[in-house]
Amino acid sequence: MLKKETMIRSIDAMHPNKLEIDLAADLIRQGGTVVFPTETVYGIGASIHSTEGIRKIFEAKGRPSDNPLIVHVASLEMMHPLVKGPLSPRVISLIESFWPGPLTLILEKSKNVPDPVTANLDTVAVRMPRHPVARALIEAAGVPIAAPSANLSGKSSATRANHVIDDLNGRVDAILCSDGCEIGLESTVLDLSGDQAVLLRPGIITKEEIENVIGNIVSPTSHEVSDSVPRSPGMKYTHYAPKAPMLMAVGDLASMTEAIHAQLMSYDRSVRIGILCTDETIGGYTDENLVAISLGSRSDLRGMSSRLFSTLRSFDESNVDLILAESFPEVGIGEALMNRLRKACGNRILNQESTMDERPGIVSMSSR
């Protein structure tokens, strides 16, 4: 694509400057693309009513056009016209419990949502973010804003201004830089378009928290959902891949670190190896050829999740040849963290465990 002039502005997260917001909102209304922070990750936004703006989002990301976008709203008044019929009690209770916040709801769409936004599906994904800059921008634009995560397709979502600028400077009309992508993983996506609620993407709002509000929900991998078509088109694409190949060690802490150390022994010292580890284990990775980065303490799943994407991008900046990652218990928030980590390493497991033998894509790396 042709490189364009990108307006880059720093915005105070808590008190967004009105003039800057109004300028960005004008761009949105005129069919431009504006990158803005949310409490999860940065998004690339355009008005759902601008065919040109929506086309530019797909072009800027290099995103396949069959992968639908989430529509961001600032109020229920803005949301109602997007969906078919009145909201069900189930939807109302979820909105009351979790909005504004990191929960995306998939609902039957109305005729007001143009097909390119939803990749021709008859459903629409809606979310009301709580980041003050996102809210101010949507309110000032006065139109729902379609926004996927602000990264080149296939790369980690961006949670920091410099990562957005690396990926999208020259590809979008404006970038609003700000603090406050405090969650660091994308929103939980819940499909409510059928009778059975389906968790399409785990996030910081966990399955258990949702079940406390609406009762039993299922995950698409579960045998309870008999559907050969992927429910969320985005699930079939590569995600979050760092530049270097990444392998994940599984099992308890002792077997994971043992597997990583055994693997390290098989490499020449000239190979630069990134280690994605934790406060509890970083002390064990001291060799000069290692770039060990801790996600934080294992007791702080939320903190570790918030640092995952920026850490994956630091490995790119350190030019490592290979990344070896520890893994985490898949409970609560750990489900979201592990979902992103598995995708980032393409499901490649370093040490096979009997309990994991149904996982696809296991490889053994030979030493180089």
Rule CB under 6 A: which residues touch ligand TXA? Answer: 38, 40-41, 43, 67-70, 102, 104, 106, 118, 121, 123-125, 127, 129, 147-149, 186-187, 189, 200, 231-234
Shortest Å, Cβ 192 to ligand TXA: 11
Binder of Mg ion out of 47, 123, 149, 305 (CB under 5 A):
149
**Beta bridge mates, 293:** 276
Number of residues that bind Mg ion (CB under 5 A): 1
Q: Which is nearer to Mg ion, 39 or 326 (CB)?
A: 39
Judged by CB under 5 A, the stretch of 62-70, 146-154, 171-179, 216-224 that binds Mg ion is: 146-154
Three-state DSSP at 307 gives helix
38 binds, among Mg ion, ligand TXA, none (CB under 5 to 8 A by kind): ligand TXA
Q: Which is nearer to ligand TXA, 154 or 329 (CB)?
A: 154
Q: Which is nearer to ligand TXA, 10 or 120 (CB)?
A: 120
Shortest Å, Cβ 283 to ligand TXA: 34
How far is residue 270's CA from residue 80's CA, in Å, rounded to a whole number? Answer: 59
Dihedral sign, Cα of residue 36, residue 38, residue 43, residue 49:
negative
How would you list the strands of the sheet with 322-325, edge to edge?
Answer: 246-248, 322-325, 273-277, 290-294
Residue whose CB is nearest to ligand TXA in the complex, by number: 234
Shortest Å, Cβ 124 to ligand TXA: 6
How far is residue 158's CA from residue 41's CA, in Å, rounded to a whole number? Answer: 6
251 binds, among Mg ion, ligand TXA, none (CB under 5 to 8 A by kind): none
Check binding of 159 to Mg ion (CB under 5 A): no
Token look-up 């308890």 returns 252
Spatial contact of 224 and 212, defined as CB atoms under 8 Å apart: no
Overall size of the chain counted in residues:
368
Report CA Rg, the chain. Answer: 21
Q: Which is nearer to Mg ion, 36 or 267 (CB)?
A: 36
Question: Which of 47, 25, 6, 302 is closest to 164 using CA atoms?
Answer: 6
Tokens read off for 318 = 């350190």
Shortest Å, Cβ 196 to ligand TXA: 15
Check binding of 104 to Mg ion (CB under 5 A): no
Distance of CA 289 to the CA centre of its chain: 30
Residues of this chain that bind Mg ion (CB under 5 A): 149
